[in-house]
Structure 1
Amino acid sequence: MPPAAETVPDRGEGARTAKPDEHDDAKPDDANPEGAGAHRPGRAGRELARLRHSARLRAASGAAFLSCLVLCLGGALAGSHPFGPTTRNIVDHGQQYLPFHAYWRSLLLGDADGDLFLNWSSGFGSNFLGDYGTYLSSPFDLMVVLFPADRIELALYVITAAKITAAGGAMAALLLTLRRGPWPVAAVLGAAYALCGWTLNYGATVPMWLDGLLAFPLLCLVGEWARAGRRPVLGPLVVAVAWYANFYTAYMATVGAAVVLLVRLLTADGAGRRRLAGLLRAARAVLVGIGLAAPLVVVIFLATRVADPTPEVAFTAVAWTEVFARLLPATASVASPALFIGTPALALALTLPFNGAVAPRVRAAWTAAVCLVALSMQWEPTHLLWHAGASPNGIPYRQTFVLCGLLLMAAWLSIAQGLPRAPALLAAGALLAAMTYAARGSAVVDRWTYPAFAAALTLAVLAAAAVLLARLLARRCTGRLAVGARALPAAAVTLLVLAQAGETAVTAGRIEEQQLGKVAWAPRLGPWHEDMARATAREDAWPRHRTDPGEVPGGNDVLLVGGQGADYYSSLTSDTYSRTLSALGFGFYAKGRHPVGLDHPVTDALFSIGTRMRSRPSAPARTDEPPEATITTTRSAVPPLVTVRPDVRLSASGVRFGDSAFANQELLLGTQVYATPAGLRRTDGSGSVTTLTASCPAGARLWFWAPAFKGTAALAGRPPVDFAGGLPSVQGPMRSLGTVPASGSVRIEVRAAEGTPALPRQPVGCLVQEKLDSALRRLTVTGATAVRTTGHTLTAEVPAGSTGTAVIAVPRISGWSCAAGDAPHAPAQRYLGLLAVPLDGETTTVSCAFRPPGLRLGGALGALALLCLAAIGFRHRFLRRTTRVHPQCTSGSSDGN
C-alpha cells in the first residue's frame, strides 16, 4: 500500500528507495515503556503512541469482524447449522465436544451428579478434571451457560466462532506490533490467519484446538514484550491462560513463538547482551506461566500416562505435491497439512524473498524460518518435537496453524511499507504458478479449487493494479486526477477483502460438504435426545442404582441425556476401565478409548443398572434432519452399588480375567450362571459361512461373543444379528441371538463380511435365568443397605458382621482412596478392575474419595510460580520507582526488567 493508505505517521515510501528498512524491524512499537514514540518529547510522542494504539485496535476489530462474517458465510453456503439444516457433528465434534459441553453446562448450573473432580455419569465414574483440562478449560467455554439446554449446538458454534474471531484480532494486533503499516491490510491478513485451512479443516470441528490458534499470536506478543523489557507480569499470565486453556496446542504455539522470537532477535540491532536479556526474559515468562497452569497441566499429563494406549503410529511424510495442493482453496484432507491462507495472502508471502525494500537479513531470516518450519513438518524427529514426542493418531499435521501464521507474517513484512515492486510481484507470481501446476494431479483438488483460485487471483491482480495506478497518478498528475488517485488505495483494499473473503467462504463451505462425505457423522440433536433426557430424568434413582439411557446418536450418551452408563469417549479413558469392560464383553470404538454400553442382564447386575432405556429409531439417520425415536423403559431388580463378597480375600486373591467373556462375568459375579454349550462344533462352509452347533438348556438365553468378528450371526429360525468388530479400532459387543428352543438344539449360522469368521475359543454362552436370579438375590441381601454419594465421594453402610470384601461397582482408576469404618483412607485396592475394600466383620461403613492424581504436585508448582510472579512484579515496581526518582537510571531499567 502507498503511504496514502497509512493511518499513522511513517517514513514514507521515499525512505524505502533510499535505504532498506533495516532498523525498522529491530524496533517494535512496544520497544519501551512509553510506546514507540516515547523517545520523542512530550505531546508528540504521546500522540504518536495513541495513533499506533488506535491502529492496532482498528486492525484487531476489523479482523475479528471479517473473521466472524466469513465464517458464518461459509456455513450459510454449506447449509450447515445454525444457518441451515445440515449437521456439523462430524467425528469427535459430535462424539466428544458436543456431549462434554452439554455436561459442562449441567455441572456449572448444579444439575450434574459429579463435580470438577469426578464425573459419576460417564464410564461408571471417571476423572473429570482431566477431561475438563482437555476439552473444557478455555475461558470461552463458560459461555455455554448463556444458552438453554436444547441449544447446546448453537452454544458450541458461538464458542467456536468467538475463538476464531479472537484469533483473527490477536494476529492483526501482532502484525502491527511487528511493523507499522496500513491497518486495513493487517485486518485482512489477521482474518486470513483465523480462517486458514487448518481452522476450516480441523479447528472448526475440534474446538479445543482453537485455543492454540489464539495462543500463537498472543505468545508472539509475549516475546515482543520480553524483547523490550515490558509487561513482566502480564506476559507470564498470558502464557498461563494459553496453557490452561489447552496445553496441547499451546505447546505447539509456544514452539512457534520461540521461532518468531529467535528471528526477531537475529534481525534486531543492538548488542548481544541486550538480545540475550530479551531471550532470558521470554524464557522466564514461559516457565512461570507454565508453572501457573501446572495444577491442571500435571493432572492431564498423569492422566495420559494411565489412559488406554492407542497403537503406535509410524509417521510418513506426505508428498510435496500434496503440500502444494493444500495451499489452494477448497481442499480437505486429514492426511496432509491444511495450509490454505488465501491466494492474495499467499502471493504476498511469496514476494518477501524477492522484495528489495525489505532489509536483506530480514528477508533471509524470515524466509529461512518459513522454509525450515515447513521442512520440520516432513521429517520424523522434528515431527515428534512438534507433537511432544508422540506421533498422534488421526491428523498428523496438527501444528500447521503455526506455519500458516508464519506465512502471514511474511506477507505482512513484505506489504507493510507498500506494495512490492514489479520484479518481486512477477517472481512471486511465477513461484505461485509453479506450485499450482505441481498440485494439479492431487486427489484433494476439488471442482471448486481452480475456479476459486482464479477468481481470487484476478481480484488480487486488480487490487495491485489499483495501487500501481495510484502511485503513478500521485507522481505525475495534479488537480482532480491527483485527488481521484487517493480513492484508488481504498478500492485496492476493497478488492483485497473481496478476494480473501470470497475465496475463504467458498473454501469453508466446500470443506464442510466434503467432510460429510468422507468421515463419520452424527445427526443434529433433536426430539430423540430431548425425549430421552426427559425419560431418564423421570427414572433417575442415583445412587440407589444406575439408569442407563442406552444408545442415542452421537455417542457419550449420558453426557447428552443424563443417567449413568458405560458409554464414555475421551482421550483420557483409563486403561483399567477399557480393559475391564472389554474382558466382560463390552464393545468399543477408537482403539479402546470409546467403550460403549452393553445391554446384558449380568453386566447390569454387576454395575447396578436398575433402569435401562431402549430406543427404536423412527427412520434412518439423516444429515439434514433431527432424529426421532420411540423410547421404552425396563426396570430390573439389581444389587446395590456396593456388594459384599465373603468368599473374596484380597490379600490372597490371585484371580485374573481369562480369555472368555462369559467366564469373566461369572468370576466377577461370584457364581456360575451360564450353561456350557455341550458338543460345540464349528463347521466352515463355502465362502464366508460358518455353522456352529451345540446343545443348551431349553429356554436359556443364547449370547454370541466375537469381538473381532464383522458380519451377521443367526440362531436357526431367528433373524440375523449384525456384528461390527474390526480390531484394533473396533471391538464388537456381546449380543443376544434369542432363546434356546425346547429341543435344546442350537444351530447358529455365521456369515463374515469377508474371509473366514474370526471367532474366539468360546463364542457362545447359554444364560440360565434361574441361576442369575438366585445370584442377584444373594448379592442384594448381603449388599449395602444404603449408599450415598457427593461430588467425588461415596459412603455405604454394610450389614453388621460383614466379612470378606466390599466390591464397589466403580472402576478402580488412579486417584481413588478408600477405608472401612473410621480407618484413615489409603489408596484403594482393586478386585478384577473394580474398587474393593477389605472387611473385618466389625465395621459397618465403607467410604471412598477421589482426588485426581497430580493435583497436589501441580498445586505446589503453581504456588511456587505464583511466588515467582509476585517477586517479578515487586522488582518491576521497585525499578519503576527508582527510575522516577533517579532518571539517569532509565537506560538500564529496560534490560533489568
Structure 2
Amino acid sequence: MPPAATPVPTPDREGARGGPRRARDPLLLAPAGAGLLTAAVFVLATALARSHPLGPYTRNVVDLGQQYLPYHAYWRAFLLGDTHGDAFLNWNSGFGAGFLGDIGTYLSSPFSLLVVLFPADRPELALYAITALKTAAAGAAMAALLIRLRPAGRTGPWPLAALLGAAYALSGWTFNHGASVPMWLDGLIAFPLLCLVAEWARAGRRPVLGPLVVAVSWTANFYTAYMATLGAALFLAVRLLTDDTTGARRRLAALLRAARTVALGIGLAAPLVLVVFSATKYADPTPETVFAPAGWAELFGRLLPATANVATPALFIGTPALLLALTLPFQRALAPRVRAGWTALLVLVTLSLQWGPTHLLWHAGASPNGNPYRQTFVLCGLLLVAAWLAAAPAAPRPAALLGATALLGALALAARDSTDIDAWTYPAAGAALLLAAGAALLALRAALLALRAARPAAPRLLAVAGAVLLLTAQAGETAVSGMRIERQQRADVAWAPRIGPWQRAVGDEVARADGWPAYRTDPGPLPGGNEPLLLGGEGADAYSSLTTENTSRTLDSLGFGHYAKGRHPETLDNPVTDAIFSIGARIRSEATEPVRQDAAPRGTATTARTPVPPLVTVRPARDATVDPAESAFRNQELLLGSAVYTLPPVRRTGTTLTARCPAGTEVWFWAPEYRGTAALADAAPAAFDGRPPATRAAMRALGPVPADGAVRVELAAARKPVLPRRPVGCLDRDRLAAAVARLTATGATRVTTTGHGIAAELPPGSTGVAVVAVPRATGWRCAAGDAAPVSARSHRGLIAVPLDGRATRVSCSFRPPGARLGAAAGATALLALLATALLARRRARRPADGSHEGRQEFTDRPHEARSGGRDADYAPRRTGA
C-alpha cells in the first residue's frame, strides 16, 4: 500500500507556522539529535582520555594553554570591566598591545561570551564547555543542512541526518586540531550554515537572513570562514550543475544572488575583519613556509580512526559514515549526473589538498606555519553530504555496499605503511565495520519483511535494532578515536599544566602589588605563557598571531627571549629593562613540587619592589634607531640613556669563556642562539634554549664578579655554541640607581591612563623627547600641549613625542589600523542590507502570481519545488503495481 501523500500547507494559520507539526518535526529533531549526540560522544572521549575536567590530566596542549586559555580568562575580566584596557588596547600584554585585532582573531565568536557564566578561577572549565558547545553546534548545523537536502515531498530519515551531523562535528580534524584551537571550530559551524545560505541563494529565498549568517560566520573567525565560504561555493556549483531542471539563466541568477549575499555579509563583518587584516600587515613575519604534500599512504591513513598528526590531513569521519559516502558512485537511486558530479567534486577537493597552488588558495595566498591542512574540515563536510545523498532515498543496495567495502578495503590497504597508524586504528575500524555490516543486514531483512506485509511490527523492530548497531559503531569508534588522539597529543607535543594553587598564588601577589599606572607589575614566567592575561599585571609576555614586528624586534634587541618565531615575547627579569619599562613590582615564584600532567601545580610567590622611573620620561633628542644585531647590553644603555655595563673582551677556549670585570658587579650572559647551560665557578648553571628561528634565549644573570675580577663562564651544550661578539656584560648597580634617579627627576610628575590612551604632566621647560614606555605601533597618535595629534614617532622602538620646552603635558591614544575603513564598509553594507530588506518586503506584498516564486522570507506562502514534483537529485523509482 503506497504511503499517504504529504499534505501541502496553505497560507492559513497552520501554514504561517511552517506546516503541520508532524512535517516540521524532522527539521527540528535532526539538529537536536545531532547536537546531543555530538556533546555526549565528545564528553565520553574526554572521560576515556581522563582529561580535565573529567579526569586529572591537562588538556592544555600547544596553543590551547598558551593562547586560548589566557585570552578567555582575560575576556571574562574585560567583559566584566575588570581590566585596564578597552576593546582597542590591552595594557597587560607586550607592554601595551592592540586588542581589537586579537578579539577578531580569538574571541569574537558568540560562544566566547559564555565565559562570564563561570567563576574567574575556572577558565579551563569555561573553555571546555565552550569547545563542547561549539562542537555540538557544528553537528546540529550539519544535520540541519542534510535534512533539507531531501527527496521531494519527504524529509528523509532524520536519525541518519543526526548521526551524520555528529560524524561531521566529531571528525579527526576536530579532535586533532579544532579542540586545541577552539577559534577554528567557528569555521566548522560556518561550513554547513554557508551551504544552507547557498541553498537559499539557489532558491531565491532569505535575502536578509543569508547575509546575516555570512556576517556572523566571518565575524566569529574570518580565517576558517574564508575556507568554509570556498567550500560552500563548491557545494553550490555542484548543486547547480547537477540540477537538470534549472536552466543557464536561473543558474546565473543563483550565482549572482550568492555573490551578493557573501559580499553583503563580509561587508557587515568588515569593522572587525579589516582590523585583523591590517594587523597582520604589521605583525611579526614568520619564516616563509614551502608546502610539502603528505604522502598518499598518510592521507589515506587519516581516513581511519585513532590517527593524529599536524602535518597530514585529519579526514576521519567514522568508518560507517565513510562507508556510506563510498556507496555514492554505486547508488542507482541517484541520478547519474549527481553521482558523477559529487564523485568528481570529492576527488578534486582531495587532490586540491595536495597541490601547491590550490593549497595557497585554501589558505588565502599564504602557506601557514604549522598545520598545512587547516581546510580539511571542508572535505569532511563534503564527504558527509555525499553519505547523506547516497543513503537518504533508501538504504544502499547490497551491490553498492559491496562496492563501497571494496573501496574502503583498498584505502585501508594503501594506508598500511602510514606512520600515523596507531595500535588501535585497525581494530577500531574493523569493529565498527562489523557492527555496520550487522546494521545493514538488519535493514535489508526489515525491507524484505515490509514487502511481504506480514507481521507489521517486525520490520520496525529490526530497523530500530539496525539503527542502534549503526549508532554504536559510529559513536563507539569516534569516542575511541578521540581518546587516542588526546593521549597522543599529551605524549608528543608541548603542554602546559592545569590552573592550580601556583597560578592562584601568583595572581594574589599581582593583585596586592598592582600600582598601575604609577608602575608596572610583572607576574613573571610560569609554565604556559601569556601570564599577564591569565593572572593580571603588565608585562612583556604576549603570545598573539598579531604581535607587531616592532614589538618583537625592540624586545629582541634588549635581550628578551621569544617563542613562536617572534610572536611570543617572554618576560625578562633584568633590572635595566625593568627601569626602561617602569616595572616597579616583579613577582618571583617557584614550584614546590614537580610539574606534572596529571595534577594542578603548586608553588609559592613573592613580590620584589624596585624604584623605577615613571612610564613617561624625558630624553635628549638623539639617534632613535635600534639594531637587534648589536650587543643587547649596549642597546639597553642607549635606551636607558646611561652606561651601566662593563663590556669586557671575552676570550673563548673550548667551552670556557674568560674575561675581567670590576669586582662586585653582576655577570650577565647573552647568547640568543645558544642552547645549553652557562655557569660561573661554584654557581648554579643557568639554562638557555635558543633554537632559531623558533626560539630565542633570553639574557640571564650568572652571579657576582669575584674579588679578583676574573670572570670564568663554563658552557655545556650538545653542539658547538653560537655566541655573539659581546656575550658577557657586568652590571654596576650603583650606576643603574643613579640613572633611575635622573630619569625620575626629569620624568613625568603624573601619569594617567584610559582604556586606549595615556597622558603625562611634565616638569616645565622639558626639551628633547618624551619617551613613553610602550612599543611604538601603527595606530598611536600623540600630541604635546595643545597641538593636534600626529602619528607617534619612535625612540629606539618606543613611543616618542618631541618637546620644544613650552609644553607641560603630552598625550597619546591608540586607534587600530583599519578601524575607520572597516566602520565605513560596515555602514555601507548595512544600508545595502536595509535596502534589500525593503525591496524584498515590497515584492512580497505583490499578488502571488508566480512571478515572485522563491521569495519567502517575508510571506507565509510556502516555497514550492520547481521540479514539477520530482526531485532533480534522485532518479525516478520503479515500483510494482
2:821 corresponds to:
857
Do 1:60 and 1:173's aligned partners in 2 also have CA atoms closer than 8 Å?
Answer: yes
Shift of 1:719: 2.0
**Tell me, what secondary structure is at the counterpart of 1:748?**
strand
Could you tell me how far apart the structure 1 residues matched to 2:14 and 2:758 are?
67
Shift of 1:632: 1.5
1:746 corresponds to:
711
TM-score where L is the length of structure 2: 0.95
Closer/same/farther in 2, CA of residues 694 and 726 from structure 1, 3 Å limit? same
Shift of 1:851: 0.5
Q: Identity of aligned pairs, percent?
A: 63
Do 2:647 and 2:726's aligned partners in 1 also have CA atoms closer than 8 Å?
Answer: no
**Tell me, what secondary structure is at the counterpart of 2:179?**
helix
2:876 corresponds to:
none
Could you tell me how far apart the structure 2 residues matched to 1:45 and 1:262 are?
32
**Tell me, what secondary structure is at the counterpart of 2:823?**
helix
Do 1:277 and 1:895's aligned partners in 2 also have CA atoms closer than 8 Å?
Answer: no
1:298 corresponds to:
274
Do 2:205 and 2:855's aligned partners in 1 also have CA atoms closer than 8 Å?
Answer: no
Could you tell me how far apart the structure 2 residues matched to 1:865 and 1:168 are?
30
* Matching residue's letter, 1:211: D
1:311 alignment partner, one of 268, 271, 287: 287
1:701 alignment partner, one of 666, 672, 677: 666
**Tell me, what secondary structure is at the counterpart of 1:286?**
helix
1:717 alignment partner, one of 655, 679, 682: 682
**Tell me, what secondary structure is at the counterpart of 1:446?**
coil
1:833 corresponds to:
797
- The alignment status of 1:190 with 2:165, answered yes or no, reads yes
Q: Map of 1:636-655 to 2, 5 A cutoff?
A: 636-645=610-619, 647-649=620-622, 653=624
Shift of 1:659: 1.3
Shift of 1:249: 0.2
Shift of 1:619: 1.7
- The alignment status of 1:170 with 2:135, answered yes or no, reads no
Shift of 1:357: 1.1
Could you tell me how far apart the structure 1 residues matched to 2:9 and 2:198 are?
20
Do 1:883 and 1:893's aligned partners in 2 also have CA atoms closer than 8 Å?
Answer: no
Do 1:37 and 1:46's aligned partners in 2 also have CA atoms closer than 8 Å?
Answer: no
Shift of 1:471: 1.1
After superposition, the C-alpha distances for 1:334-365 in whole angstroms (9 at most, x for unaligned) are: 01000000000000000000111110000011
Could you tell me how far apart the structure 2 residues matched to 1:539 and 1:846 are?
27
1:471 corresponds to:
447
1:143 corresponds to:
114
- The alignment status of 1:376 with 2:352, answered yes or no, reads yes
Could you tell me how far apart the structure 2 residues matched to 1:41 and 1:99 are?
53
2:609 alignment partner, one of 611, 615, 635: 635
After superposition, the C-alpha distances for 1:248-283 in whole angstroms (9 at most, x for unaligned) are: 000000000000000111112122111111111111
Closer/same/farther in 2, CA of residues 44 and 850 from structure 1, 3 Å limit? closer
1:386 alignment partner, one of 347, 354, 362: 362
**Tell me, what secondary structure is at the counterpart of 1:293?**
helix
1:256 corresponds to:
231
Do 2:190 and 2:228's aligned partners in 1 also have CA atoms closer than 8 Å?
Answer: yes
* Matching residue's letter, 2:63: D
Could you tell me how far apart the structure 2 residues matched to 1:697 and 1:3 are?
101
After superposition, the C-alpha distances for 1:150-182 in whole angstroms (9 at most, x for unaligned) are: 111000001001111111011001001111310
After superposition, the C-alpha distances for 1:762-796 in whole angstroms (9 at most, x for unaligned) are: 00001111111111110010010010001001010
Could you tell me how far apart the structure 2 residues matched to 1:860 and 1:307 are?
24
1:17 corresponds to:
none
- The alignment status of 1:218 with 2:185, answered yes or no, reads no
Shift of 1:655: 6.3
Closer/same/farther in 2, CA of residues 437 and 38 from structure 1, 3 Å limit? same
1:247 alignment partner, one of 222, 229, 249: 222
Could you tell me how far apart the structure 2 residues matched to 1:862 and 1:692 are?
61
- What residue ranges of structure 2 are gaps of 5+ in the alignment? 860-881
* Matching residue's letter, 2:610: S
Q: Map of 1:339-378 to 2, 5 A cutoff?
A: 339-378=315-354
Could you tell me how far apart the structure 2 residues matched to 1:282 and 1:47 are?
24
After superposition, the C-alpha distances for 1:379-434 in whole angstroms (9 at most, x for unaligned) are: 00000000000001110100000000000000000000111111111010000011
- The alignment status of 1:601 with 2:575, answered yes or no, reads yes
**Tell me, what secondary structure is at the counterpart of 2:604?**
strand
Shift of 1:714: 1.1
Closer/same/farther in 2, CA of residues 256 and 828 from structure 1, 3 Å limit? same
After superposition, the C-alpha distances for 1:571-597 in whole angstroms (9 at most, x for unaligned) are: 001000000000000000000000000
Could you tell me how far apart the structure 2 residues matched to 1:93 and 1:3 are?
55
Do 2:844 and 2:856's aligned partners in 1 also have CA atoms closer than 8 Å?
Answer: no
- The alignment status of 1:765 with 2:729, answered yes or no, reads yes
**Tell me, what secondary structure is at the counterpart of 2:743?**
helix
After superposition, the C-alpha distances for 1:65-115 in whole angstroms (9 at most, x for unaligned) are: 000000000000000011111100000000000000000000011111101
Once superposed, what is the RMSD of the aligned Cα atoms? Answer: 1.9
Closer/same/farther in 2, CA of residues 525 and 653 from structure 1, 3 Å limit? closer
Could you tell me how far apart the structure 1 residues matched to 2:525 and 2:346 are?
47
Closer/same/farther in 2, CA of residues 891 and 59 from structure 1, 3 Å limit? closer
- The alignment status of 1:808 with 2:778, answered yes or no, reads no
1:546 corresponds to:
520
Aligned length: 854
2:30 corresponds to:
59
Closer/same/farther in 2, CA of residues 657 and 45 from structure 1, 3 Å limit? closer
Shift of 1:656: 5.0
Do 1:829 and 1:835's aligned partners in 2 also have CA atoms closer than 8 Å?
Answer: yes
Could you tell me how far apart the structure 2 residues matched to 1:187 and 1:791 are?
46
2:653 corresponds to:
683
TM-score where L is the length of structure 1: 0.93
Do 1:94 and 1:521's aligned partners in 2 also have CA atoms closer than 8 Å?
Answer: yes
Do 1:278 and 1:895's aligned partners in 2 also have CA atoms closer than 8 Å?
Answer: no
* Matching residue's letter, 1:777: A
Could you tell me how far apart the structure 2 residues matched to 1:228 and 1:611 are?
63
Could you tell me how far apart the structure 2 residues matched to 1:764 and 1:693 are?
9
2:261 alignment partner, one of 285, 291, 297: 285
Could you tell me how far apart the structure 2 residues matched to 1:891 and 1:513 are?
54
Do 1:229 and 1:895's aligned partners in 2 also have CA atoms closer than 8 Å?
Answer: no
Could you tell me how far apart the structure 2 residues matched to 1:604 and 1:9 are?
79
- The alignment status of 1:794 with 2:758, answered yes or no, reads yes
Could you tell me how far apart the structure 2 residues matched to 1:757 and 1:86 are?
37
- The alignment status of 1:878 with 2:839, answered yes or no, reads no
2:461 alignment partner, one of 487, 504, 529: 487
- The alignment status of 1:619 with 2:593, answered yes or no, reads yes
Closer/same/farther in 2, CA of residues 41 and 743 from structure 1, 3 Å limit? closer
- The alignment status of 1:581 with 2:568, answered yes or no, reads no
Do 2:626 and 2:797's aligned partners in 1 also have CA atoms closer than 8 Å?
Answer: no
- The alignment status of 1:205 with 2:180, answered yes or no, reads yes
Shift of 1:715: 1.0
Closer/same/farther in 2, CA of residues 160 and 702 from structure 1, 3 Å limit? same
**Tell me, what secondary structure is at the counterpart of 2:787?**
coil
1:426 alignment partner, one of 389, 395, 402: 402
Closer/same/farther in 2, CA of residues 348 and 777 from structure 1, 3 Å limit? same
Could you tell me how far apart the structure 1 residues matched to 2:673 and 2:321 are?
49
Do 2:204 and 2:854's aligned partners in 1 also have CA atoms closer than 8 Å?
Answer: no
Could you tell me how far apart the structure 2 residues matched to 1:654 and 1:44 are?
72
* Matching residue's letter, 1:382: T
**Tell me, what secondary structure is at the counterpart of 1:202?**
helix
Do 2:18 and 2:24's aligned partners in 1 also have CA atoms closer than 8 Å?
Answer: no
1:25 corresponds to:
none
Shift of 1:121: 0.3
1:507 corresponds to:
481
- The alignment status of 1:665 with 2:636, answered yes or no, reads yes
Could you tell me how far apart the structure 2 residues matched to 1:341 and 1:284 are?
33
Could you tell me how far apart the structure 2 residues matched to 1:41 and 1:68 are?
38
Could you tell me how far apart the structure 2 residues matched to 1:39 and 1:351 are?
38
Shift of 1:443: 1.4
- The alignment status of 1:88 with 2:59, answered yes or no, reads yes
* Matching residue's letter, 1:344: P
Do 1:229 and 1:896's aligned partners in 2 also have CA atoms closer than 8 Å?
Answer: no
* Matching residue's letter, 1:267: T
After superposition, the C-alpha distances for 1:546-601 in whole angstroms (9 at most, x for unaligned) are: 00010122100011110000000000010000000000000000000000000000
Shift of 1:207: 0.4
